[in-house]
Amino acid sequence: MKNLSIRLKLILSTGILALGYLLFLGLVVWTGADMQRHLHLASDSLFPAALAGQDADAGFQKLTQDYKDAVLTQNAALLGSADEDAQRVTAQLQIVRTRTAENPSLQQQVSLIQDQFKDISSQSKATYTKMVSTPDAMDEQLMATVKNLAVENTSLTKSLKDMNETIAKKDFQGELDGVAKTTTLQRMLTVVLFAMAFGFAFLVTVVLEKQISVPLKLAVDVLRQVALGDLSVSLPVHTGDEVGKMAKALNEALDKLRTTLQEVSESASNANTSSQQLAKASDAISSGAQEQAASLEETSASLEQITAAVRLTAENANTASELASGSHKDNDRGRDGTSAIAAMEEISVASAKISEIISTVDEIAFQTNLLAVNAAVEAARAGEEGRGFAVVAAEVRILAQRSAGASKEIKGLIQDSLRKVERGSELVKRVTQLVGEIALSSGEQSAGIEQVNTAMNQVDQVTQSNSAQTEELSATAEALSEQAAHLMEVISTFTLSHAEENHRDRQPFQSYAANSENPNQQPIHVQHGNPVTRPQTRAGRSTASAKSDSNGRSNKRVKARPPVLAVAVPSGPAPEDTSFQEF
């Protein structure tokens, strides 16, 4: 019964009512037909039968009178009239018989009367005809017959009277009684049927009221709660009919709505957090851009200095290069036509000359030494006379040796100085080369610094545009944050779980759920343990996250997706720093 659909229930109840009505109709039809039958019987059968009976009685009386008159008057014509009367009685009796076909006892009675009349009629006709034709033939036998006929006549008359009485009183009355009985039955059945129909209708109404109206009312209440923003409610209806299905669908819809709203809430919270972070990040970027701009300015200034320094270096290097290579005509030495290298070469040449001279001196010293030795030999040969000469020779030899030593020393010195000059020359060449390279590098450096300058300008422009865009970003983030906060405000008007019901004392369906006939079937409720919308945790979590945020950027992204439903505080003032404009 419970799980029958309402349609079926309605069809069933209406059908039952229609069946009752049909029964009632049948009853009426039946009772009407019965009454009609009775009345018909009374009017079509009994009434003509009664008339015919009375006519037959009257006919018989006339017949008897006619026979009597015929005998008395000796009028044979009256015999004919008596025959007519007899025929009339027979006909009337036949009518009675046909009309009372439904009453066998009456039929039998009529049949007896017919037999009796036939008997009497034929006997009477014969007797009275004889008496009329032969009025003198009155004998005892005839008299006995007449007497017998009279008795039989009386009997028949009585029988006819009985029959008429029976028809008139008994049967007619019986039929009328039957009509009355049928009417009474009809009335009684009508009352019973009506009572039954009324009871059934009442029952159906009650049942339907319980199965449709009450759940619908519940649904209306639930929907009203939903309209008030309380999404924690659910419909505790668990029937299998359309209302139950509707309740299930509504619960599912509510569940879905709840889940969606929770997700939206989470998303809004996340969006809020993210937008706050975004705002912070954009602030950081903004301040970074300012720092960058300041650094850029400093760098620019430094670059200018570097440029000047490099230019100076390049000039100096060029000058040095020219000086070293001797191509610089304005220089003092340049006027003499010499340079470091030229001087070195001259020194070299001079050294070579000195070397030559020294070698000559050396040779001379060698020769002198030889001469001195020879002189010493000659002096030794000369013996005593050459002794003085020997001394002189020794002196000369010593001088020669000294000059040889000196020349050797000079030679060494010259060679040393030559080596040094060569080295100096090489160094100068090297220096010249290096200075040339320095000059070249300085030029390249200059060009590079120009490029760096250009790049710096571009970076400056980019930084400025970054700064502007960061401001926009900041504003956007703020707007986003506000939107998220608004969204969360909007969502916070919805109650997503029963956790808040205790505070609001709103439990309109709990009692119904408790009274529901199947206590095992719990109504669908939102999980109480869901921390997402728990209001107690909001403040602590949000302050905690705020603290961690204020502690620095150690956790740039709040990892655990804190269910912060707290209204987003716009993160600081927008970077309206006008120092950007100075750039």
Partner 1 sequence: MKALVENKVQESQQFITFLLEDQEYGLEIFKIREIRGYAPITPIPNVPPHVRGVMNLRGTVLPVIDLRMKFRLPPVEYNKFTVIVIATVAEKTVGLLVDAVSDVLMVANDAIREAPDFGAAVDTRFINGVFQSKERLTVSLNLEELLTESELIVPQQVA
Q: Which residues bind to partner 1, rule: CB under 8 A?
A: 363, 366-367, 369-370, 373-374, 376-377, 380-381, 383-384, 387, 393-394, 397
Rounded Cα distance, 225 and 128, in Å: 113
Nearer to partner 1, 315 or 395 (CB): 395
Separation CA 166–CA 53 (nearest Å): 10
Least Å distance, CB 412 to partner 1, is 16
Min CB(354)–partner 1 separation in Å: 19
CA dihedral (119, 120, 121, 127) in degrees, to 10, reads 110
Exposed/middle/buried for residue 540 (C-beta within 10 Å: 0-12, 13-18, 19+):
exposed
Q: Which two tokens stand for residue 206?
A: 């009650």
Please tell me the distance from the alpha carbon of residue 551 to that of residue 280, in angstroms, as a whole number.
Answer: 13
| Pairwise CA distance, residues 483 & 274, whole Å | 12
Residue type, 362: D
- What's the closest the beta carbon of residue 319 comes to partner 1, in angstroms? 50
- Shortest Cβ 359–partner 1 spacing (Å): 10
Nearer to partner 1, 367 or 454 (CB): 367
Query: Is the Cβ of residue 189 or residue 373 nearer to partner 1 in the bound state?
Result: 373
Q: What angle, 0 to 180 degrees and rounded to 10, lies between the N-to-C axes of helices 104-133 and 47-73?
A: 10
Coil, helix or strand at residue 329: coil
Name every residue whose Cβ is closer than 8 Å to that of residue 397 and which is 6 or more positions away in sequence: 368, 369, 372, 373, 375, 376
Query: Which lies closer to partner 1 via its Cβ, residue 377 or residue 514?
Result: 377
Count of residues making up the chain: 583
DSSP secondary structure letter of residue 213: I
261's enclosing H/E stretch is helix 242-325
- If the CB atoms of residues 361 and 485 are measured against partner 1, the closer one turns out to be 361
Whose tokens are 């919270």? That residue is: 269
316 vs 403 by CB, closer to partner 1: 403
Query: Which residue's CB is nearer to partner 1, number 366 or number 512?
Result: 366
Contact predicate 41/102, CB 8 Å:
yes
Q: To the nearest whole angstrom, how small is the minimum distance from the Cβ of residue 378 to partner 1?
A: 8
Pick the closest to residue 8 from 265, 193, 187, 212 (CA basis). 212
Which C-beta is closer to partner 1: that of 196 or that of 364? 364
Closest approach, Cβ 424 to partner 1, in A, equals 31
Q: How far is the CB of 390 from partner 1 (least distance, A)?
A: 8
**Region of residue 337 (left: phi > 0; alpha: psi -120 to 50; beta: else):** left
Query: Which CB atom, from 182 or from 407, has the smaller least distance to partner 1?
Result: 407
d(CA 171, CA 185): 21
Give the C-alpha separation, 444 to 440, whole Å.
6
Closest distance between partner 1 and the C-beta of residue 351, in Å? Answer: 21
For the record, the structure tokens of 551 come out as: 């502690």
CB of 381 to partner 1, least distance (A): 7
Q: Report the residue number, 231 or 376, with the smaller CB distance to partner 1.
A: 376
Least distance from partner 1 to the Cβ atom of residue 405, Å? 13
